[in-house]
Amino acid sequence: MAVTIKDIAVYAGVSYSMVSRALNDSGSVEETKKKKILEIAHALGYVPNQAAVTLKKSRSRNIGLCFSTINPSTSPFVLHNVLTGVYSVIGSRYHVIVKAMDIHEPGTLNRSNFDGLLIMSQGDWDGEFMEEAWKKGIPMVAVCRKSSFDIPAVVTDERAGMDKIMDYLLQNGHQKIGVIEGDPGLEVTKLRHEGWKQAVKRRGFEWERIPVEYGNYRYNSGRMAAGRLLDCHKDLTALLCFNDEMAVGAVNAISERGFHVPDDISVTGFDNLDISSYANIRLTTVERSVTKLAVEGTKMLLSYMEEGVRPDDIWLENRLVVRDTVRNQSMIQVL
């Protein structure tokens, strides 16, 4: 069986991408590490894949960053974090071309235009685009969501993350909770819905009694949804929001009605975007680092492009980030 970059990486105790850079004399690798990698490659009898070598000579140096759609509801915070993650890995070695898959013209994808694609898909409706890329043999890596196609992915457990933060609200004595969900047509919304419902059922509460409003993951939709919940359900003690941007909108809706966070109403978010740690908000949230997802996805794509071997999927853990927007309701009830 032919020796691959993966084998060399295991023996050397370094990443696939570092092995690739050392073998191809591209990018910055410390001289001692480079020497060690080359010695291991020689000892193992590594022979470069000639098809891959030929392909490298005709590369476009373009990587496609492909979103389901790009429109006014697209979060600039997410776009910024994804691009930050991608460029932190590739530097100036590749150009990044941002594409919206929903306006793609069938038949226009070509390996001469793209060396690889990072797929930021929100649903199976992107299947036509991915199928064309698949048939053209363009390496793809899915970021944030696994695809129905057999392509490597870097993802987090959305269901477990939302379970975690709803459980935190319940632990703090909140029983009158309103939920602000995102677009119900998106898979991420369905997974996060299952997550909070799972936490509520496990603690013996009736999830059907929890009021739900919907936004589109943007600030103003969160503000409007929070307003509807607060105006219709006067006894709410907490709002669980499906992302940080809507949570910030919810905080403002609470303030507009003369209430305070968390003294009167607690608020939680999801994603741990930069806005969640602003001094005047300090939002309790779940960290699903889009930047880290993009970093790992880009590393995986470069390895796939260089070696031609499908990398294994990567699951990144979500963690609860406790700040200042949740009050312990149990303590209040005791007092």
| Residue predicted with more confidence, 120 or 25 | 120
* Tens-place pLDDT, residues 78-129: 889 999 999 999 998 899 999 999 888 888 888 888 999 999 988 888 889 9
User: Per the CATH hierarchy, to which homologous superfamily does domain 5-48 belong?
Assistant: lambda repressor-like DNA-binding domains (1.10.260.40)
Kindly state the tokens that stand for 216: 């589109």
Evaluate whether 5-48 and 158-288+321-334 have a shared fold.
no
pLDDT of 282 over the 60 cut: yes
* Tens-place pLDDT, residues 219-278: 999 999 999 999 999 999 999 999 999 999 999 999 999 999 999 999 999 999 888 877
Look at the domain 158-288+321-334 and name its fold: Rossmann fold (3.40.50)
- What CA–CA distance (Å, rounded) separates 238 from 178? 6
* Tens-place pLDDT, residues 116-153: 999 998 888 888 999 999 989 999 999 988 887 789 99
Instruction: Quickly list DSSP for 158-215.
Output: HHHHHHHHHHHHHHTT--SEEEEE--TTSHHHHHHHHHHHHHHHHTT--GGGS-EEE-
Q: Do 116 and 61 contact (CB within 8 A), yes or no?
A: no
pLDDT at 274: 83
pLDDT at 98: 94
Omega into 262 within 30° of 0, i.e. cis?
A: yes
pLDDT of 335 over the 50 cut: no
pLDDT of 52 over the 80 cut: no
Share of the chain above pLDDT 90, in %: 58
pLDDT of 50 over the 60 cut: no
- What CA–CA distance (Å, rounded) separates 249 from 114? 39
- What CA–CA distance (Å, rounded) separates 65 from 51? 25
Contacts of 176 (CB under 8 A, 6+ apart): 233, 235, 236, 237, 238
Over residues 179-185, the mean pLDDT reads 94
pLDDT at 334: 42
Over residues 307-323, the mean pLDDT reads 91
pLDDT at 235: 95
Q: Where are the domains of the chain?
A: 5-48, 59-156+289-317, 158-288+321-334
Q: Which CATH architecture has domain 59-156+289-317?
A: 3-Layer(aba) Sandwich (3.40)
pLDDT at 70: 83
Instruction: Quickly list DSSP for 250-303.
Output: HHHHHHHTT--TTTT-EEE-SB--GGGG-TTT--BEEE--HHHHHHHHHHHHHH
Whole-number mean pLDDT of the chain?
89
Q: How confident is the model at residue 287 (pLDDT cuts 50, 70, 90)?
A: very high
pLDDT of 333 over the 60 cut: no
Share of the chain above pLDDT 70, in %: 93
